Amino acid sequence: MDHSIESAPLEKLQSQCLLVGIHENQVLSPTAQALDARYNGLISRLMDRGDIKGKVGETLLINNLPDGGIERLILIGFGPRGELNRKQFRKALAAAGKTLKDTKVSAASCALLDVAVEHADTAWLTRQIVEMFNDSAYQYNATKKIDDPVALQALAIVAGDADRHAVETGLNQGIAIASGIEFCKRLADLPGNLCTPSYLAEQAIVLAGEHDKLSCEILEEHQMEALGMAALLSVSRGSRQPAKLICLNYQGGGDAKPIVLVGKGLTFDAGGISLKPGLGMDEMKYDMCGGASVLGILRAATRMNLPLNLVGLIPASENLPDGNANKPGDILTSMAGKTIEVLNTDAEGRLILCDTLTYAKRYSPEVVIDMATLTGACIVALGRVPSGLFGNDDALCNDLLAASETACDPLWRMPIWDDYAEQLKSNFADLANIGGPDGGSITAAVFLSKFTEDYRWAHIDIAGTAWRTGTHKGATGRPVALLSQYLIDRATT
Ranges of each domain in the chain? 2-178, 190-491
Distance CA 123, CA 146 (A): 34
Distance CA 43, CA 327 (A): 68
Distance CA 282, CA 191 (A): 8
Q: Residue 323 in contact with residue 436, Cβ under 8 Å? A: no
Q: Bridge-partner residues for 158, per DSSP? A: 6
Report the pLDDT value the prediction gives residue 66, as an integer from 0 to 100. 85
Per DSSP, the three-state class of 208 is helix
Output phi, psi for 385, to 5 deg.
Answer: -95, -65
CA-wise closest residue to 246 among 258, 226, 256, 260: 260
Neighbours of 155 (CB within 10 A): 23
Domain 190-491 adopts which CATH fold?
Aminopeptidase (3.40.630)
Output phi, psi for 202, to 5 deg.
Answer: -60, -40
Architecture of the domain whose range is 2-178: 3-Layer(aba) Sandwich (3.40)
Report the pLDDT value the prediction gives residue 375, as an integer from 0 to 100. 98
Name residues of the chain where pLDDT drops below 70.
none
| Strand segments (E) across 169-225 | 214-219
CA-wise closest residue to 328 among 272, 366, 261: 272
Q: Residue 91 in contact with residue 114, Cβ under 8 Å? A: no
DSSP alpha helices (H): ranges in 273-393? 289-303, 349-359, 376-382
Residues with a known catalytic role:
276, 350
Judge if pTM exceeds 0.85.
yes
Buried b vs exposed e over 423-442: b needs ≥16 C-beta within 10 Å? bbeeeebbbbbbbeeebbbb
